[in-house]
Structure 1
Amino acid sequence: MADESIILPPLASLPQIPTVISVSCSFTLAVIYVGSLYVWSTKHNRDHPTTIKRRFASVSCVMLMAPLFVYFFSSPELLQREPFPSLLGFRWQGLWQAIVIPYLLTALLFLGPIFVNMQNESFRSYFDLEAWRGSCTSIIWIRNLVMAPLSEEFVFRACMMPLILQSFTPMTAVFITPLFFGVAHLHHIAERLSVGMELSTALFIGLFQFTYTTLFGFYSAFLFARTGHFVAPLLAHALCNHMGLPDVQDLWQQNLWRRVLAIGLYLVGLAGWIYLLPVATEPSLYSNKLYWNV
């Protein structure tokens, strides 16, 4: 008898885990991640090398622990069907696409700021070997562009999303997990209060940070669900941390024609990003048949 090919059912047809389990696990992961930042008793601020090194150790432990939630609370059928690394977004199929396409898409969103940076000294540092050496030896640079994106995307995307996606549709999951991500950044309010900042100012900055981290979380979760790759939101996160929020003051310091051109590029970048988002994240480009089947 000829061997019959086995057709695996889509994720949506598998028994789902209860919503209370996926949400509870995600909430617990968020609490553990934030709590790990404060297990050390220190008088230094968050930018002191000692504080940063200790927090590196803490979040590294959380990264080792987080996959256990996925392993022990996922449906047995899913674990039998898919290699465990694939659930976390680690797979070979579509890897180069996941590295290149989402990164370029994210860069398009920053088309205006990139143009502005090209007009000042900061752009020249990209071609300065000494500047790169200085950055790579700066523990703050490593935190902002390496460790923070790596640990946050691994915990909040690679480990939370597989759980939430077993209880909700992909689009619903995209809107749920960023809330944990945004709330996890509210701890900065306490840090600002500890250095003497007024409560009203700390709350305003904290709520503003919650807003833009949540918005980025939507995008990052969308990239993970659509591509099925961890590297896609990781690189997007690193690029966003590097670019930061647009510097309006720097924009208005340009002469008139450059300012007009820059504003135009801001709008073109945003419009192009919105238009290309569904196209550039088409799951078939990344051989993603696991997390996005709607």
Structure 2
Amino acid sequence: MVLKEFIDDYACVFSILACIFLTVTYVASLYIWKSTYSRDHPTTIKRRFFSVTCMMIVAPFISQYFWTEETLRKGDLWEHMGLKYSGIIQATLLPLFVTAVLFLGPLTMQFLSGTLKIYAEPMYWVASWQDLVWVRNHVMAPLSEEWVFRSCMVPLLLQCLEPSTAVFIGPMLFGIAHFHHMFEQIKSGQGVKTALLISSFQFMYTSMFGVYSAYLFVRTGHFMAPLIAHMFCNHMGFPNFGEISQFPPTQRLIIICNFLIGFALWCILLVPATNPDIYYNRLHWDT
């Protein structure tokens, strides 16, 4: 009890330290296995699946231990972590729609190239679920990252920060966590300078996505909202602007316009589509 009271007195310090600890242990869990295999080898992927699953089980208890009495009074463990029934349909569909609007340009490229048709093929999904790299990128990575970096960390940050501030602070740790890919790139034969440039770019866009994901979480109060958005973004990948030049001039103009329209519509729709009232959210965003 004395330790708990001490933690409550210095809630902000311990909240930040707990978030750093969760970040370090999440990344460390990927490297506890001594192996010469690459990150895409089935053995490596399976071992890391086990590691992050263990991390997902432990992380909520670590997070809850550092919650203050005030946080505990506001709601139970599952509510704080975004696991609730009220508003779940809205949290599944609306953030996905808004995110898809942002990718209007890339989706237009897929439509014009005929790539969208493949999603209607059952064998595409069968083959995808049999591909461990696909499962890692589209399912396990978003699931574990959103659980640890959003559901477990954001409630800690909200103990001492305003929601509008917390959505910017937490994602910095999320972006830093992706720097571990740099060592794997060097190990695979890439130069240090090239690996650093690639990792710096990854840090930039993963931090930006982290802000968006954290925003969805605190606005909707649902774990499902950032999870679905994360899965969709991982599937789409970072837009390849270089591919635009491969289309005929008229289609090229349509694609560029849709990139701009998509971004403009996303800016317009983001706030009203994530109105906390739609999701019955009174826990993470009170304004």
Give TM class, smaller chain: over 0.9
In structure 2, how many angstroms separate the alpha carbons of the residues matched to 1:248 and 1:157? Answer: 30
Helix, strand or coil at the partner of 1:30 = helix
Partner of 1:96: 89
Identify which range, 275-284 or 27-36, moves more after superposition.
Answer: 275-284
Determine which of 257, 268, 279 is the counterpart of 1:275. 268
Which TM-score applies when normalising by structure 2? Answer: 0.95
Partner of 1:6: none
* TM superposition shift of 1:17: 6.0
Question: Is the Cα contact below 8 Å between 2:146 and 2:223 reproduced in 1?
Answer: yes
Partner of 1:159: 152
Change (3 A) 1:17 1:82: farther
Question: Is the Cα contact below 8 Å between 2:11 and 2:66 reproduced in 1?
Answer: no
Which TM-score applies when normalising by structure 1? Answer: 0.93
**When you count helix as a share of all residues, which structure comes out higher?**
2
Partner of 1:12: none
* TM superposition shift of 1:53: 0.4
Determine which of 105, 109, 112 is the counterpart of 2:105. 112
In structure 2, how many angstroms separate the alpha carbons of the residues matched to 1:165 and 1:212? Answer: 23
Question: What letter is aligned with 1:264?
Answer: C
Q: Residues 207-239 of structure 1: CA distance to partner in whole angstroms, max 9, x if unpaired?
A: 000000000000000000100000000000000
Gaps of 5+ in 2: 1-7
Partner of 1:209: 202
Say yes or no: does 1:65 pair with 2:58: yes
In structure 2, how many angstroms separate the alpha carbons of the residues matched to 1:30 and 1:81? Answer: 25
Partner of 1:31: 24
Identity %: 46
Partner of 1:293: 286
Q: Any runs of at least 4 consecutive aligned residues in structure 1 with deviations exceeding 4 A, and if so which?
A: none
Say yes or no: does 1:48 pair with 2:41: yes
In structure 2, how many angstroms separate the alpha carbons of the residues matched to 1:255 and 1:121? Answer: 14
Gaps of 5+ in 1: 1-14
In structure 1, how many angstroms separate the alpha carbons of the residues matched to 2:268 and 2:70? Answer: 37
Partner of 1:169: 162
Question: Is the Cα contact below 8 Å between 1:17 and 1:75 reproduced in 2?
Answer: no
**RMSD across aligned C-alpha pairs, in angstroms?**
1.2
Q: How many residues align?
A: 280
Helix, strand or coil at the partner of 1:112 = helix
Say yes or no: does 1:284 pair with 2:260: no
Question: Is the Cα contact below 8 Å between 1:17 and 1:74 reproduced in 2?
Answer: no
Partner of 2:256: 263
